[in-house]
Amino acid sequence: MGRLQDKVAIITGSGAGIGKEVAIAYAREGAKVVIADFNETTLNETVAELKASGHEALGVKVDVSVNEDVERMVDESIKAFGKVDILVNNAGVGDNMQAAANVQDDTWNRILSINLNGVMYGLRKIIPHFMENGGGTIVNMASITGLTGGRGGLGYTAVKHAVVGMTKNVASQYGPHNIRCNAIAPGHIQTEFAASMTNIDEFGMKASIRATNLIPRAGTVEDIANITLFLGSDESSYVNGVALAADGGWSAY
């Protein structure tokens, strides 16, 4: 207990799934958490759960693809808690496993606006605050598709590679200012994320799952939350610019 005592953490996409589990883990370790999500119902439910357990939590409805929303998210967090110490860029959507020849413009643009622009907006807004406060920590949620080539659709693979690159860029340029930026690259995790995809591209899906028999087991949201907790805490103070595969060894094959 107390690994994040008195820290303030914003977690995007934290109304449910991995983000919610991260928020719970952070709160248990003493952090004041900001539940930032587009789904107002799950957002409010998560905030209520945390408060009922005696934790400090703030809910902010945000569409991370809108810069003004992201700026307001950070501003409201600072207004409520006086500062922000940790930003977890977790919000994201899938691309229906669309292979290159089957990419649809609306899907491509949605992936870029949420999964890529949303991360950039968060970085752009939070870094000046971190520099003013003497440092801070960023954890970006990438994907194993950001480290490999064939385990997702073209759009999702492209943006997650970009997130890994952004992570390394920020770590390199802002490390001297006591700002750390790392990424997590989950493999197959038991969430509702895949179930939320519709009109799945059969060719892309078939190609992407060819090696799933090599996965020892599906990961859990707790697995990812534990890694996010480590990267958000001072225990990882010498870790910067890393994209950590969390896939049970799947990508090692």
Active site residues: 156
Task: Give bridge partners of residue 219 from the DSSP assignment.
Answer: 189
Q: What is the CA radius of gyration of the chain?
A: 17
Q: Report the SS3 class of residue 149.
A: coil
Which own/partner contact pairs does 230-235 have at CB distance under 8 Å and 24+ positions apart? Answer: 231/137, 231/139, 231/182, 231/184, 232/4, 232/7, 232/9, 232/26, 232/86, 232/88, 232/137, 232/139, 233/3, 233/4, 233/29, 234/3, 235/3
What is the b/e burial string over 228-251, where b = at least 16 CB atoms within 10 angstroms of the residue's CB?
Answer: bbbbbbeebeeebbbbbbbbbebb
- Look up residue 198 and give its amino acid: T
Sheet holding 136-141, edge to edge: 57-61, 32-37, 8-12, 86-89, 136-141, 179-186, 243-246
